[in-house]
Amino acid sequence: MIPMPSTHDILLCDLDAFFASVEQRDHPEYHGKPVIVGVRPDERGVVATCSYEARRYGIRSAMPMSRAVRLCPDAVFLPVDLARYRQVSAHVFAVYARFAAQIEPVSIDEAYIAVPPGKGVETAREIREEVRRELRRSFPPA
C-alpha cells in the first residue's frame, strides 16, 4: 500500500490545569501555592481542576473534595468561575483562529487544529508563545 500524503497536521491544543492557571494568573498571591478549583471544601462534590503544586500532594481532577482537603488542607480552595474561564477560553480560541481555519473544539480548554502538513511542531510552538504572550497582558484580574 502506498502511503497517501497528509493534507494537514493535526494539533491537540489542551490548556492543562486551565481553571487553576487562570486563577493563578489573575491572583499573583496564588503563585507557587496549591490551588484547587471545585466545590467548597465543606461541600460534597469533586475537584474540577488543580494546579501543579496541588498535584504534588496527589490531588487530581474528579477526586472527591473531601479527599483533596485531607491531602492538602492548606491549599487555596476556589469555586468554579465559569464565566471567567469562558472569557479566557474565547481569547485563546481567537488566537488559534489566527493559525488555522479548521478548529474542532473539544471542551472549554481543548481543541484540535488542522495546520499545513509538516508545520505542526513549528505552529504548535508559535501558538503556545502567542497564547502565553497575549494572555499575560490582556486580561486584568476579575
Strand partners, 49: 37
Chain-centre distance of CA 39, in angstroms? 18
Instruction: Please indicate whether residue 110 is annotated as part of the active site.
Output: yes
C-alpha cell at position 114: 488542522
SS3 category, 88: helix
In this structure, are residues 83 and 98 in contact, taking their beta carbons and an 8 Å threshold? no
At residue 136, the pLDDT reads: 81
Q: Which of the listed CATH numbers 3.50.50.60, 3.40.50.1980, 3.30.70.270, 3.65.10.10 matches domain 9-17+82-138?
A: 3.30.70.270
Q: Is 21-78 a CATH 3.30.70.520 domain?
A: no
Supply the pTM of this predicted model.
Answer: 0.86
At residue 5, the pLDDT reads: 57
Distance of alpha carbon 123 from alpha carbon 115, whole angstroms: 7
Show pLDDT as tens, one digit a residue, over the chain (142 residues).
Answer: 555 456 889 999 999 899 999 999 999 999 999 999 999 999 999 999 999 999 999 999 999 999 999 999 999 999 999 999 999 999 999 999 999 989 999 999 999 999 999 999 999 999 999 999 988 865 544 4
At residue 135, the pLDDT reads: 86
- Among the listed residues 110, 126, 130, 134, the single catalytic one is 110
In this structure, are residues 120 and 113 in contact, taking their beta carbons and an 8 Å threshold? no
Distance of alpha carbon 15 from alpha carbon 55, whole angstroms: 16
Domain locations along the chain? 9-17+82-138, 21-78
35: left (phi over 0), alpha (psi -120 to 50) or beta: beta
Distance of alpha carbon 131 from alpha carbon 128, whole angstroms: 5
SS3 category, 52: helix
